Amino acid sequence: MLSDRISRLFSRIDEGKRLIDQYRPLSNSIVSHLRDRFLVEWTYNSNAIEGNTLTLKETRMVLEDGITIGKKPLKDHLEAINHKEAIVFIEELASQKDPITERNIREIHAISNHLPPDPLIVPELMANFTNERLLNPTGHPIEQAARAHFDLVSIHPFVDGNGRTARLIMNLILLKHGYFPTIILKNDRKKYYDALEKGRQKNNVDDFIFLTGRALERTIYLYLEVIPEIKTHFLTLSEAAKLSPYSQDYLGILARRGSIPAFKLKRNWVITQEALQRYVHDQKNQK
């Protein structure tokens, strides 16, 4: 059973996804802008977590301009190029109705890793993983994606590239469910590894599911910021306070706790009038 904080996080994400889906199909300029940004940020952060020395700017230069960065290892350049190709590949897989297979995992690893793919050394565990996490998953799509990532890195089927492959598989699952890519930031590297370690030692992956959800919520923010119609759909907390029995400060506390489906646009918390009314209604019914 998921904790309250995870359930509230999933509700916020689903509310954000619902809002974005209302304005689909998005304009070509918005889609192109976001895709270019995700290709670079996703590649940079995923590789940086594994020790790649290219900066965000250098990664963009390699991917968009084909420039070789002096004094940086060839391996780091290849990791960036290959990771971008892997993203393109999972986008193609996500557009298909076929289930994700063990072969897909091998293919993704082979593309994203700069070394030749290694044979799976734990076939029984991988067979169970494919059956439980890919063919017969249960729970919210974010939970499915996080658990698939956790299980794959725990099995550690490849000599190298397990983390990159797991993060790609995680996003493939999210994309297949109509969600958006979640990018684990380099700055969250310690939290990321701590959550994985806690999951292994205490057999409790709640922290890792929560971290995955928070990363996805950041992507939701990016979408909300660039869709003009959505900006006008929100109330600031100051405006929300005038339409509810709560003060702006109290609404701010609820927003930071994740108790209301509020989002940050730039630096300001905002909420839709519908979400605010639902919260007020639910609170009255609980009394």
pLDDT, tens digit only, all 287 positions of the chain: 788 889 989 988 998 999 899 999 999 999 999 999 999 999 999 999 999 999 999 999 999 999 999 999 999 999 999 999 999 999 999 999 999 999 999 999 999 886 655 555 678 889 999 998 999 999 999 999 999 999 999 998 888 899 999 999 999 999 999 999 999 999 999 999 999 999 999 989 999 999 999 999 999 989 988 888 877 778 999 999 999 999 999 999 999 888 888 888 778 899 988 889 988 998 888 86
Tell me what pLDDT residue 283 has: 87
111 with 85: CB under 8 angstroms?
A: yes
Q: What is the pLDDT of residue 234?
A: 86
Residue 93: both structure tokens together = 């897989």
Catalytic residues: 156
Helices (H), the chain: 4-22, 28-49, 56-60, 74-94, 102-112, 123-129, 141-155, 162-176, 189-202, 206-226, 228-231, 237-242, 248-257, 273-286
Which pLDDT value is given to residue 225? 84
CB burial of 9-34 (b: ≥16 within 10 Å; e: otherwise) equals: bbebbbbbbebbeeeeeeeeeeeeeb
Give the span between the Cα atoms of 167 and 148, in whole angstroms.
9
Residue 245 preceded by cis peptide, ω within 30 = no
Instruction: Give the whole-angstrom CA distance, residue 206 versus residue 6.
Output: 8
Q: What is the pTM of this model?
A: 0.88
What is residue 193's predicted lDDT score, i.e. its pLDDT?
A: 96
Please give the CATH topology (third level) of the domain spanning 26-227. Fic-like fold (1.10.3290)
Would you state the pLDDT for residue 273?
86
